[in-house]
Amino acid sequence: MEERKLDIWIFNLEIAEGRSFSGHKESLDWLASQGFAVIPDIIMAQTADQVWAGIQHIADIRYSLNYGLDGAVVKVDDLQMRRELGMTSKVPRWAVAYKYPPERQETVLEDIVVQVGRTGKLTPLAILKPVRLAETTVSKATLHNQDFINEKDIMIGDAVVLQKAGDIIPEVVSVVKEKRPADARPFEMPRFCPVCGAPVATDDGGINIFCTGESCPAKDARGIIYFASKDAMDIEGMGPSAVEALISEGYIKDVSDIFTLKQHKERLIEEGIIGREKSVSNILAAIDRAKENGLNQLVTGLGIRGIGKQTAKILTSRFRSMDQIMAAKPEELMELQDFGETTAGDLVNWFEKPANRELIEKLRAAGVRMEMEEVQAAGDQRFAGKTFVLTGTLSRYTRDQASAIIESFGGKTSSSVSKKTDYVLAGEAAGSKLTKAQSLGVAVISEEEFEDMIK
Ligand SMILES: [Zn+2]
C-alpha cells in the first residue's frame, strides 16, 4: 500500500464478535474509534428532501475533495429495518446509488495522430491542449475511427468538449462549431500504415482499418508486449521498455524468441539493456514459469483478433489442447458462447497462416505448455461421466465458475444439448437450449437444484 500509494476507507462493518449495533453510522463511528479510516463525508438525513440536499451538497464539494467519486450512495441507517427490507435477487432494498453526470471541459484539438495496435488496427488519437478534467490532466483521447470523426464533424484546430466515460477514459463529446477557426483542417485516415508503409484494408464492417503488412514493427512490438502482459502470459519484468529494448537489440523478433532468451543470459547481463544480473535472472525465471501457464493464457497472448482473455477461457474450456483448437471447424467454434461468425472465421484464418503455424511449433519446441491441465482425479468425483449444458443467466455464478465447479467434481460441460447431455442447468431467460432439452427429454435443473447437488 505504501509503495503503490494506495489508501482505503472502510465503508461497512460486516460482523464484530461480541458487539452489536443498531445503526450503520454507529458501527462506522465504532470502527473510527478503533483506529480504522472511515469515509468522512457522511450526511444523516431524516426526510427525502434532506437526502436530496445531501446529494446536491456532495455534488458541490465533489471536486474540492482529496479523493475521486462518481456518485453518492443513499442507505437506510437502521440495521433492523435493513434486515426487514432484505434483498432482491441481486441488490439490497435498503441502498441505492446516485450517479453524478460526468464533468465536462472544453479544450482545443491540436492534432490527430494515428496509432497502430497489436492487431494492426489503426486508431486516430486526438492530441489535445492539456486540460484538467475530473482530477487528471488530459492531453489525449481516442477518436475510434473515421466514422466517429465524421459523425461528430471533428476537424484539427476545433474547440471540443470532453468528458470521461465512466469517469476514467476521456472522450470527445462534441465540437463547438461557433469556435471553429478559419484554418481548421479536416482529417482523413491514411491509406498506408504510418509505421511500416504497407497498404491498409478495412475489416468486414468497413468501420475499422488495419495494416496489411506481414511484419509491421508496430504490430510486433505491441504484440509481444501484450503476450507478456498480465492479461496474457503475465511475465513479470517484461514490460514495454524491456520488450522494446530486446527488439531493437535484435534479441527477439516474435513471442517464441522470449523463451530462448536464457541462451543469451551472459550477454544480457553484460549489456544491461534489461537491467543487471538480478533483473535479468528474475526475468528469465519469470519466463521459465510462464511455460507452465494455462493454455487460455497462451491463446490470449497470441493476440488473435476477437480473442481476448474471456473468449480464450471459453475456447479452452471446450478445446483442451492447441492441436484441438487448430483443428476446430468454424461451425464448432460458433457453438461457443460469444463466438460469432467473424470471431470463428478470424480464429480459423489465423491458424491457417503458415507463419502462425510455425510460431506455434516454435513455442511448442521451446517447452511452452499446449494443453489444459486435466483436473486431478482425486477427491469427490460425483459428476464423473456426466455432461452438463449451461444456459441462461445464473444469479450466483458466472458460467466459468459453474463450469469449474462441475469439472472439479469430475463432470464435463458442453455448449450444445444432445441425447448425450445428462443435465441442462437453466438460469434466467434460458432460450433454445432449454426447449431442445425438453424435446429430447434431458433433465433440466434449476440453480437451486444444482446447489443441492454440489452440497
Ligand atoms: Zn504496419
Residue 198 has pLDDT above 50, yes or no: yes
Ligand 1 center–CA 200 separation, angstroms: 8
Predicted local distance difference test score (pLDDT) of residue 167: 62
What is the CA(118)–ligand 1 centre distance, in A? Answer: 10
How far apart, in Å, are the Cα atoms of 298 and each of 231, 243, 345?
Answer: 10, 17, 19
Query: 64-105, pLDDT tens digit by residue?
Result: 888 878 889 999 999 999 999 998 878 899 999 998 888 889
The 10s digit of each residue's pLDDT in 213-272 is: 877 878 788 889 999 999 999 999 999 889 988 987 889 989 999 999 999 999 999 888
Q: Could you give the percent of the chain with pLDDT greater than 70?
A: 97
* Confidence label for 153 from pLDDT (cuts 50, 70 and 90): very high
Does residue 6 lie within any of the structural domains? no
Do 81 and 114 fall within a single domain?
no
For residue 173, tell me if it sits in a domain. Answer: yes
Q: Is pLDDT larger for residue 56 or for residue 64? A: 56
Q: From 151, 178, 213, give the residue that closes a domain.
A: 213
Lowest mean pLDDT among 104-113, 250-259, 279-288, 406-415: 406-415
CB contact burial 249-263 (16+ within 10 A = b; e otherwise)? eebbebbbbbbebee
Could you tell me the pLDDT band of residue 112, with boundaries at 50, 70 and 90?
very high
Ligand 1: distance of its center to the CA of 198 in Å? Answer: 6
Which residues are found with C-beta within 5 Å of the ion, ligand 1?
193, 195-196, 198, 211, 213, 216
Ligand 1 centre from 28 Cα, in Å?
Answer: 56
Residues 112 and 200 in one domain: yes
**By residue range, what is the domain housing residue 420?**
387-454
Residue 39 counted as domain residue: yes
pLDDT over 50 at 281, yes or no: yes
pLDDT of 377:
46
Least confident of 304-318, 358-372, 427-441: 427-441
Q: Same domain, yes or no, for 172 and 183? A: yes
Distance 187 CA to ligand 1 centre (A): 20
Distances (CA, A) of 198 to 21, 149, 210: 68, 23, 10
| Statement to judge: residues 203 and 119 lie in one domain | yes
In a domain, 271, yes or no: yes
| CA 366 – ligand 1 centroid, Å | 28
Q: How far is the CA of 114 from the centre of ligand 1 (A)?
A: 11
pLDDT digits (tens, 9 = 90+) for 170-192: 999 999 999 999 999 999 999 99
Same domain, 189 and 229: no
pTM of the model as a whole: 0.49
Residue predicted with more confidence, 4 or 294? 294
pLDDT of residue 1: 55
User: What is the 144 CA–ligand 1 centroid distance (Å)?
Assistant: 18
Residue 8 domain-assigned (yes or no): no
Q: Confidence band (pLDDT; 50, 70, 90) for 131?
A: very high
Query: What CATH code is carried by the domain that includes residue 322?
Result: 1.10.150.20
> Domain boundary residue among 239, 272, 290?
290
How far away, in angstroms, is 171 Cα from ligand 1 center?
A: 26
Question: Which of 3-17, 49-63, 85-99, 228-242 comes out lowest in average pLDDT?
Answer: 3-17
Ligand 1 centroid–CA 252 distance in Å is 18
* 299 and 341, same domain (yes or no): yes
Write the secondary structure of the chain as one string of H (helix), E (strand) and C (coil): CCCCCCCCCECCCCCCCCCCCCEHHHHHHHHHHCCCCECCCCCCCCCHHHHHHHHHHHHHHHHHCCCCCCEEEEECCEHHHHHHHCECCCCECCEEEEECCCCEEEEEEEEEEEEECCCCEEEEEEEEEEEEECCEEEEEEECCCHHHHHHCCCCECCEEEEEEECCCEEEEEEECHHHCCCCCECCCCCCECCCCCCEEEECCCCCCEEECCCCCHHHHHHHHHHHHCCCCCCCCCCCHHHHHHHHHCCCCCCHHHHHHHHHHHHHHHHHCECECHHHHHHHHHHHHHHCCCCHHHHHHHCCCCCCCHHHHHHHHHHCCEHHHHHHCCHHHHCCCCCCCHHHHHHHHHHHHCHHHHHHHHHHHHCCCCCECCCCCCCCCCCCCCCEEEEECECCCCCHHHHHHHHHHCCCEEECCCCCCCCEEEECECCCHHHHHHHHHCCEEECHHHHHHHHC
CATH assignment of the domain containing 440 = 3.40.50.10190
Task: Tell me whether residue 65 is in a domain.
Answer: yes
Give the distance (Å) from ligand 1 centre to CA of residue 227: 18
CA 451 / ligand 1 centre spacing (Å): 52
- 300 or 374, higher pLDDT: 300
Q: Angle between the 399-408 and 309-318 helix axes, to the nearest 10 degrees?
A: 30
pLDDT at residue 412 tops 80: yes
| Amino acid in position 75 | K
- With respect to residue 17, please indicate whether it lies within any of the assigned structural domains: no
**Is 141 in contact with 110 (CB distance < 8 Å)?**
no
Same domain, 224 and 266: yes
Task: Please indicate, yes or no, whether residues 32 and 92 belong to a single structural domain of this protein.
Answer: yes
Ligand 1 centroid to 196 CA: how many Å?
A: 4
397 & 337 share domain: no
In terms of domains, do 108 and 198 share one? yes
Distance 221 CA to ligand 1 centre (A): 11
Could you tell me if residue 13 is inside a domain? no
Residue 222 Cα to ligand 1 middle (Å): 12
Compute the distance from residue 219 Cα to the ligand 1 centre, in Å: 7
As a whole number, the mean pLDDT across the chain is 89
**Is residue 51 domain-shared with residue 142, that is, in the same domain?**
no
**pLDDT at 75 (0 to 100):** 95
Q: Which of 11-20, 58-67, 202-211, 289-298 has the lowest mean pLDDT?
A: 202-211
Cα(271) to centroid(ligand 1), Å: 30
Ligand 1 center to 66 CA (angstroms)? 43
CA–centroid distance, 406 to ligand 1, in Å, is 45
Whole-number Å distance, alpha carbon 116 to ligand 1 midpoint, is: 7
Q: Residue 398: what pLDDT?
A: 79
Both 170 and 81 in a single domain?
no
Cα of 149 vs centre of ligand 1, distance in Å, is 22
Domain count, the chain: 5
The domain boundary, picked from 51, 79, 99, lies at 99
